[in-house]
A and B are shown apart, each in its own frame.
Chain A
Amino acid sequence: KQEVTQIPAALSVPEGENLVLNCSFTDSAIYNLQWFRQDPGKGLTSLLLIQSSQREQTSGRLNASLDKSSGRSTLYIAASQPGDSATYLCAVRPLDDSWGKLQFGAGTQVVVTP
């Protein structure tokens, strides 16, 4: 059974520091991995999607890497800003799933202090 874990559960950094968020999964048979942002009480906003054949994806200040063999993904956010404060969730799509079902980690709650 796939288990998705995110450590740490919470993180507080001063503005300007780089953020490093970790995601690990137990079964490497994945179709893709996705990072989401969730603001308090709100839905999910997709940040980056990495296909299983890719090593990384970049969008602006965000960079996500994927090491499928070791079951790890890392989300880097450069030069953090107070507006980056949110919960960040990673989710994997199993390889044998043709319907797009995702399995989520519990998330990392990030606070960026001015």
Chain B
Amino acid sequence: DAGVTQSPTHLIKTRGQQVTLRCSPKSGHDTVSWYQQALGQGPQFIFQYYEEEERQRGNFPDRFSGHQFPNYSSELNVNALLLGDSALYLCASSLKGTGANVLTFGAGSRLTVL
């Protein structure tokens, strides 16, 4: 049973560029959440997708956007990259309506902005 898969694992961009990160949820899961983890910090919630709609959003600017596809996979897009966007981006999936709604995390995509 495949867990959460994220791609790419590492990437380097320059300021002002745009980036797209991808996530395939665990088999059987229908909800995808994205978190940003800066070095030495805990993950910060970006947003969450269910039924192809953004359901909840953290305190992140509109430069951060996302999408969920009919197969439940998801993309995170960041426009006009800043140095401060350098971080590990974590995707987590879950099954809505299972009570505890326990999240399963992927290994993350490490973004470096130069």
Contact = CB atoms under 8 A, between A and B. Distances in A.
Interface string A1-42: 000100000000000000000000000000110101000011
Interface residues of B, number: 30
Interface residues of A, dominant DSSP? strand
Most B CB within 10 A of own CB, among A42, A46, A100, A106: A100
B55 A32 contact: no
A94 B72 CA distance: 25
A100 B90 contact: no
A78 interface: no
B31 A49 contact: no
A43 B106 contact: yes
Size range of the chain A interface in the assembly: 20 to 34
Contacts of A57: none
Nearest to A36: B105
Given A102-B45, A104-B42, A106-B42, A42 B108 contact: yes
A100 B56 CA distance: 10
Nearest 10 A/B pairs, CB to CB: A104-B42, A100-B101, A43-B107, A44-B105, A43-B105, A106-B42, A99-B56, A43-B108, A104-B43, A101-B45
